[in-house]
Structure 1
Amino acid sequence: MPQQQTSSPGQGQRFDWWAAPAAATASEPAVAPRRTAVPAQPVSTRTAATQSAAAPELAAAPLAPAVVPQEPSAPTSTTDSTEVYRSVQASAAFQDIRRSYRVFVFPVSGAFLGWYLVYVAAEAVAPGVMRSRVAGPINVAWLLGLLQFATTFLLTWLYARNARTKRDRAALGLRWDTQDQLR
């Protein structure tokens, strides 16, 4: 049974821990570290002449390179990436994306919170009005409660549309620029 991953994989680690070979043992790690190839080393103590006489097809084939773990990257790359992200954060494009987000989210969140508090206050202050029937068994309280759900779905749709039309393209361009700077 493969081991479950307890944290997010780092750079060079695999996301597909569930696709590990079935013959994996408990001593092997669930996520392989990043590895690099080194020059090939002889595998057996036999001479090249003995190997070519025993198996001529093996003598012609090159030996597979040995694999060793790669050392962690130098701290300077971390400093460089930190500087890149800070410069992106200070850029006008990033500030425009954040401003567009705030202009939509803060007023809409305030309006929804106000709408919810009016519903709760009406239930506490005017229970008689909330009990008055609208249609059949549906009263004002039920109607306003169901409108809370409808409002939630409406605001979710509006947020997704606003993000798609006003922020996503600019954010994707900024992401590509950042990745280019980090290469």
Structure 2
Amino acid sequence: MDEEMVRERDARAYEAVHEAADFTKLKTRYKNFVVPWTIAFMAWYLAYVACCNWARGFMDHQVVGHINVALIFGLLQFVSTFVIAAVYGRFANRKLDPLASGLNAKYKRERRR
């Protein structure tokens, strides 16, 4: 096959997948997960930064020994990142991957035509 025919075949296969109801469902599910979690994480991060800048007395408060609120908030930033990643991984395995696998199979079938 010449290169132009391969490109046309691939474009038709992509169009077929793009027009599938499962593709729209996949995009919607992804967006409905990512947008709220991104907003939540950014709010949490900005709250941490704001407290470090404007609530120094609160952030300097000693909790145990030399461990203060700022250190705990900083460590919780890492924890929240890993928690969100784990929640996303579980969500993707249950809700996104089955749709994506089906769409991948559809793409491969369409390319063989």
TM-score by length of 2: 0.94
Which position in structure 1 is the counterpart of 2:31? Answer: 102
3-state SS in 1 of match to 2:84: helix
Which position in structure 2 is the counterpart of 1:112? Answer: 41
Determine if the alignment matches structure 1 residue 162 to structure 2 residue 104. no
Taking only aligned residues, the RMSD between alpha carbons, in angstroms, comes to 1.1
Q: Unpaired runs of 5+ in structure 1?
A: 1-71
- Relative contact order higher in (CA < 8 Å, ≥ 6 apart): 2
**Kindly tell me: are residues 74 and 152 of structure 1, through their superposed partners in 2, closer, same or farther at Cα, counting changes over 3 Å?**
closer
Deviations 1:24-82 (A, max 9, x none): xxxxxxxxxxxxxxxxxxxxxxxxxxxxxxxxxxxxxxxxxxxxxxxx72412211210
Aligned-pair distance for 1:154? 0.2
Which position in structure 2 is the counterpart of 1:30? Answer: none
Picking from 55, 73, 80, the partner of 1:151 is 80
Aligned-pair distance for 1:177? 1.4
Picking from 31, 46, 69, the partner of 1:140 is 69
For residues 9-158 of structure 1, the aligned pairs below 5 Å read 73-158=2-87
Deviations 1:117-165 (A, max 9, x none): 0000011111111101011110000010000011001000000000000
Deviations 1:72-104 (A, max 9, x none): 724122112102202211211101011100000
Q: Percent identity?
A: 37
Q: How many residues matched?
A: 112
Which position in structure 2 is the counterpart of 1:181? Answer: 110
Structure with more of its chain in helix, by fraction: 2
TM-score by length of 1: 0.59
- State the one-letter code of the partner of 1:146: L
Distance in 2, matches of 1:182 and 1:87, equals 10
The 4+ residue runs of structure 1 with deviation greater than 4 A are none
Q: Unpaired runs of 5+ in structure 2?
A: none
